[in-house]
Every structure is written in C-alpha cells, then in structure tokens.
Amino acid sequence: MSGNSDKTVAAKSVDEENLNLGARLYADVVRYAEMGDHRTGSDVDLQTSSWLRDELQAVGIEAAFETWPLRQFHVEACWVGIYGQRIEAFPLWFPKAMETGPQVARLVLTEEGDEVAVTGSIALVRFDDNMVTRASCHARIINELTQAGAQAIIGCSPHPSGEIYGQNVIPPYNQVPWPIPVAMIAPRHWHILEQAARRRYEVAFQLSGHDNPASYARNVIGRLARGPRWIIVSTPQSGWFRCGGERGAGIALFLKLAGWAANSKQDNSFLFLSNSGHEIGHMGIHHLFEDVALPRPEVTDCWVHLGASIASLHWEDKDGVLIPDGPERDSWLFGSQDIQALLAKGFRELEHLTPEIYNRKHGEIRWILERGYSAFSLMGPHKFFHLKSDGPEGVCPNLLEQIAKALIGTLSNVSEARPSSLPDPEQGTPLHHSTGTPV
C-alpha cells in the first residue's frame, strides 16, 4: 500500500513540475525585463548577476562570480531640444559627455559627398550601418566631422520600427570614447531635425553621464560536479535596454535547465555560465575564455548557448495594429556538424527551428565553435530587437515550454551521441574563479 502511495506522490510531483511550465518560464522573462535596462556594469546588470547566482545556489549548484574590469559610461541625460520640445536620443558607444551643460549651436545637415562648413556647429548625419565595427561608416564620418570643426554629432540609422536601435560595438569603440559627443535619434524624428537644419536653426544638445574607468561587471559561474564528462550551458545577461525578448527567454531557459540538471540522474557534470558585456564586444565571454579554466572540448559532450530572441513571436501590421501570427520566422538553430542528428531528433516537434551548421560571423556561439567545442545555439532577431520597447510581450509562453522540453530532451540524449570509440578521459582542470573587484 505504501509503495503505491509513494509512486502516486512521485507522479503527482512530476505533473506539478510540468503544470503551467510555460507560464512559470514566462514569469522569469517578466522579472528580467522589469528590472530595467541591462547595460553592462549597471546596477541592474549587477542585480541580475546576483539573482542568477542565488537561483543556481537555491537548486544546489555551486555558484560564484567572475568579476572583471572595464571602462563604462553611465548615462544620465541624452536629448535634443528644438521647437520647445525635447527629442529623446541615446549615446553612440563609447560616449563622450558634454563638458558643461547642453551645447547650443546651429544644426548643419551633412550628407555623403557634400562639402558643408560645420565649424562650431552640431552636425546632423545619417549612418547607414547598425553596428559599430572597424568596417562600418561610423568612425570615418565622426573623425572627418571632428577634423572639420563640428562640436557634436546627432546621428540617425534607418530602422523599420522608427525607434532608436541600440548599436552593438566592438573593440576599440567599446572602451575608447569618440572625440566629440555623438548620439542617435529615432528615424521617426529625423524629419523634424532635417527641417530645422535646412532652416539653419539652433538646437540644444545634451549628453551627460558618468565615465567610470574603474567600473566592473560580473559573469556567473555555476558548477555541478558529477562524472568526468561535461555539459556546458551559457547565456548572455546584458544588453542596451530592458531586453525582454532579446535576453529574457534565454535567462528563463538557463534557470530551467539548472533546475533540471540539479534534479536529473544525468551522469554528466554541468557548468552554467551567464556573461555580461554582450553589447560591447562580447567582453564577458572573452573573459571567461581568458580567465577561467573551462573544461576542455575533448571532455565536453555538448555546449548549448542560449542566444537572442528565443521563443519570440512574429508580428503582422494590420491597419496599424500589431498582431502576432506564430513564431518569429527568423529563428535559427545553429550547431557544429557533429551534433546535427542530435538536434534534428531533439527539436523535431518545432517546425520553425531546423538545425543548420553554423556558417555566420555573429553571435557568441562563434567563439565557442572556434575553440573546437561540440555546440549549438538558439538565436535570431525579432520585431523589437535592440529597441527600448523590447519588453516581455514579444515572448510566447507556449513556445518557451516547447523549447524547454526540446532542450531537456536533447541534453538527456547527449550521451547517446557520444562516439562509442571515445573513452571517458580524466576530468579536466578544476574551475578557477578570477579575483576581481570585491562584491
């Protein structure tokens, strides 16, 4: 009698665990988004790392911080004043703040090929690129306008939303300020400032904040030691704004997989990594590779990287009203060649996620695969990607649940994909947590 009762209780606990799984995952998406803007090294980013560490520890995973230094700018105010109104702006990284209050000067429209006098003025310019790299137009245009005598630059890049798009940056632009203040306005406001420039009006431009050369950020490292072979789960935790759709689902699935691993009978050891610094040159994951003794690729069965826009919805604009009509169509499931069959089996119920061999140049999965790991990543853009309006509303709880089950199924079967001729090597070097700023 008691044996049957024990089985009933066990079955009931399993049912309760799966009951409303999508809703419980979505609650973590909401919590993440409602914390605020997740820029690297901000108070919100540090609160996020504390939350993730505490959640890992709560399920029995040994967790600690890897603290790393950076120069960071903490924005206080950024706007353009014209016609008695303030137009919202956002700094282009790495910002240079105004030395004193708002700058007031004539606004001058500058376009490719034009020779316009900009000495002492605020230049208005279009940037055709949406990411700051060595190959993008930003540095060339900014340096030319600085040399021509512009006091500051107001920029705009095209985006279908009409909103300001947070532009990721790579070295050296993630740590070295521009020579003059530069900020971006939303495309929907371009015509207002273009008209003002053509009329030779003055504008007020404010970009203020705290440039802290001794700032710091934190990665979270969670370790569950079991057998000699490893599964690694990672996700970025930072971004320009609230990042509900961009990062929220990855965070929720990260925590779900941690809870599953802690309670599973899997013989693998697990390593859970959340890293800051994503939007400023993937700084956090590079610090993980440089400063932490990670399990070697030959003792790692699989590395799953939970990237951007997982479980996001696709939206149709119908008479000015956005209507969701299924999963985001640009959802990608990229992986190394050796685990394509494993992915095809694990994600067979999700038609919008077809496994592909990774052949891109973006996403943090790039750095993982370059180091020889068997790895895969869910990633892609979505309607509100890199926008201030990126809240939790673009994430689908039902999709979250389906993807969580697919991930658990895939990782549960990872040992089956291990080549039978490959012996289990000795366990790798113990993990090392770097000593950084005290927390």
The span from the CA of 226 to the CA of 247, in Å, is 29
Q: Give yes or no for residue 9 having a pLDDT over 50.
A: no
Q: How confident is the model at residue 112 (pLDDT cuts 50, 70, 90)?
A: low
Lowest mean pLDDT across 91-100, 188-197, 261-270, 320-329 = 320-329
- The pLDDT value recorded for residue 12 is 39
Contact criterion met (CB below 8 Å) for 63 and 222: yes
Q: How confident is the model at residue 113 (pLDDT cuts 50, 70, 90)?
A: low
Q: Give yes or no for residue 80 having a pLDDT over 80.
A: yes
**Average pLDDT over the chain, rounded to an integer:** 90
Q: Give yes or no for residue 437 having a pLDDT over 60.
A: no
Q: How confident is the model at residue 317 (pLDDT cuts 50, 70, 90)?
A: confident
Lowest mean pLDDT across 242-246, 267-271, 274-278, 356-360 = 356-360
260 Cβ neighbours under 8 A, 6+ residues apart: 408
In order of 32, 38, 400, the CA distances from 250 in angstroms are 10, 14, 10
- The pLDDT value recorded for residue 420 is 47
In order of 45, 187, 192, 245, the CA distances from 393 in angstroms are 21, 23, 30, 8
Q: SS3 for 55?
A: helix
Mean pLDDT of 327-355: 95
Mean pLDDT of 139-154: 96
- The pLDDT value recorded for residue 417 is 62
Q: Where in the chain is the domain with CATH 3.50.30.30?
A: 73-214
Phi, psi for 68 (deg, rounded to 5): -135, 150
- The pLDDT value recorded for residue 405 is 97
- The pLDDT value recorded for residue 435 is 33
Mean pLDDT of 256-262: 98
- The pLDDT value recorded for residue 320 is 83
Q: Give yes or no for residue 224 having a pLDDT over 60.
A: yes
Q: What fold, for 73-214?
A: Glucose Oxidase; domain 1 (3.50.30)
Q: How confident is the model at residue 73 (pLDDT cuts 50, 70, 90)?
A: very high
- Please give the full DSSP string across 198-264, using - where no structure is assigned: HTT-EEEEEEEEEEEEEEEEEEEEEEE--SSSEEEEEEE---SS--TTTTHHHHHHHHHHHHHHHHS
In DSSP terms, 72 is beta-bridged to: 212
Q: How confident is the model at residue 116 (pLDDT cuts 50, 70, 90)?
A: confident
Q: What fold, for 20-71+216-417?
A: Aminopeptidase (3.40.630)
Dmax over CA atoms of the chain, in Å, equals: 91
- Please give the full DSSP string across 345-357, using - where no structure is assigned: HHTTT-TT--EEE
Q: Give yes or no for residue 266 having a pLDDT over 50.
A: yes
Q: Where in the chain is the domain with CATH 3.40.630.10?
A: 20-71+216-417
Higher model confidence: residue 418 or residue 266? Answer: 266
